[in-house]
Amino acid sequence: MKGSFNLNALLRDNIKKLVPYSSARDEFKGEASVLLDANENAFGSPYREDFHRYPDPLQHRVKEKLSKIKGVPAANIFLGNGSDEAIDLLYRAFCTPGKDNVILVPPTYGMYEVSANINDVAYRKVNLTPDYQLDLDGIAEAIDSQTKLIFICSPNNPTGNSLNRTDIETILVNFDGLVVVDEAYINFSKQPSFTKDLSEFPNLVILQTLSKAWGLAALRLGMAFASEEIITVFNKIKPPYNINQATQNIVLEALDNVDQVNSWIQEIVAEREKLSATLADIAQVAHITPSDANFILVKLEEPRALYNFLVSKGIIVRDRSKVELCEGCLRLTVGTPAENEELVSAVYTFYGATNN
Ligand SMILES: *Cc1c(COP(=O)(O)O)cnc(C)c1O
């Protein structure tokens, strides 16, 4: 640990040497009336909207709009086919298979591990503490000269709590690799985003997504915020047209509805607190982790049997009861008021019928 950050030293050799694919839209960017450079069908699309031209590879218009909403310059934004694409690109840019390693801090989002396995990159797990915070000593011990990335999810999935900001800052200051802070649930949190601190930490990568609070999971649009230097690396290795035109068009319109999203967020947070309070009154509910997200992790009796009972009622929740440090827990997404009432009433029925 401790040294000075040098992005070039972190990059894989093959990526340093890479000559990126240069698409037709990279080579000619101006206005023209006759486009005969990309082997498209000049007649049009067999559809009511035109999709016959390749999309903007760097999604300038979407980034301009996001820049205003997020307060982050467009040059510091990467857009991916879901934030899962950014996670994969981080491995591919910085981790040499069979040589480098990353640090994961479970229980956390499963894609960091799956993506490591897909890329044949080793990972070292340093469990969160029993109150779901970072084990700084454990992380310091696990880091070696081949450690390239640390993934930190805050608010954390599946626990729902935010990780202490000062702990994350300690890692940012002392670790020479990249610190990836996944803020998929930041819109529901009382904690401020790390986006304001990008200029302070050259090794910070923030992930956000339109899949959760923004209600656009099906469009697949994830964001990474980082230094221009890091964004340049992502752009160099991403598939040339990774965000399709339909997604770009729809997102541009949807981003005008910030007020609608903010009012949903308020409602979801209120419903989250109400659902937590109601479930906490049930004798068989042992613990609910205070949540900064749009879900709650609930420790309760007979989790698997309750899960199956809920399925039989057509209510699907996430069974995390076999996950280390989440033993006995189900993860419940906050739904509409009607859905939450249906859930609560089914939970009452289950325990009433089996225990009381
Ligand atoms: C849902 C989720 C994402 C996934 O985002 P996509 O943009 O839909 O790929 C990323 N990180 C965490 C922690 C999530 O829970």
> Which 3-state string (H, E, C) describes the chain?
CCCCCCHHHHCCHHHHHCCCCCCHHHHCCCCCCCCCCCCCCCCCCCCCCCCCCCCCCCCHHHHHHHHHHHCCCHHHEEEECCHHHHHHHHHHHHCCCCCCEEEECCCCCCHHHHHHHHCCCEEEECCCCCCCCCCHHHHHHHCCCCEEEEEEECCCCCCCCCCCHHHHHHHHHHCCCEEEEECCCHHHCCCCCHHHHCCCCCCEEEEEECCCCCCCHHHCCEEEECCHHHHHHHHHHCCCCCCCHHHHHHHHHHCCCHHHHHHHHHHHHHHHHHHHHHHHCCCCEEEECCCCCCEEEEEECCHHHHHHHHHHCCCCCEECCCCCCCCCEEEEECCCHHHHHHHHHHHHHHHHHHCC
> Which residue of 157, 161, 320 sits with most ligand 1 atoms within 8 Å of its CB, as the best mutation to test the pocket?
157
Name all domains of the chain by residue range, CATH numbers in brackets.
7-12+57-256 (3.40.640.10), 259-354 (3.90.1150.10)
Question: Atom 12 (ligand 1): residue with closest C-alpha?
Answer: 184
At 23 the pLDDT is: 83
At 356 the pLDDT is: 43
Q: Say yes or no to pLDDT of 355 above 60.
A: no
At 44-55, the pLDDT tens digits run 999 999 999 999
> Which residue of 105, 212, 242, 297 sits with most ligand 1 atoms within 8 Å of its CB, as the best mutation to test the pocket?
212
Distance 306 CA to ligand 1 centre (A): 26
At 30 the pLDDT is: 80
Q: What is the residue-averaged pLDDT of the chain? A: 96
At 146 the pLDDT is: 97
How much is the pTM? 0.96
Q: What percent of the chain has pLDDT over 90?
A: 93
pLDDT band at 32 (very low <50, low <70, confident <90, very high): confident
* Mean pLDDT, range 233-244, rounded to an integer: 97
Q: Say yes or no to pLDDT of 60 above 90.
A: yes
Q: Say yes or no to pLDDT of 253 above 90.
A: yes
Distance 200 CA to ligand 1 centre (A): 25
Distance 164 CA to ligand 1 centre (A): 20
Atom of ligand 1 nearest to the CA of 84: 9
Distance 82 CA to ligand 1 centre (A): 7
Q: What percent of the chain has pLDDT over 70?
A: 98
* Mean pLDDT, range 241-249, rounded to an integer: 98
Question: Atom 5 (ligand 1): residue with closest C-alpha?
Answer: 83
At 294-352, the pLDDT tens digits run 999 999 999 999 999 999 999 999 999 999 999 999 999 999 999 999 999 999 999 98
Distance 279 CA to ligand 1 centre (A): 26
At 79-121, the pLDDT tens digits run 999 999 999 999 999 999 999 999 999 999 999 999 999 999 9
Ligand 1 site: residues with CB under 6 angstroms? 82-84, 109, 153, 157, 182, 184, 209, 211-212, 217, 222
pLDDT band at 280 (very low <50, low <70, confident <90, very high): very high
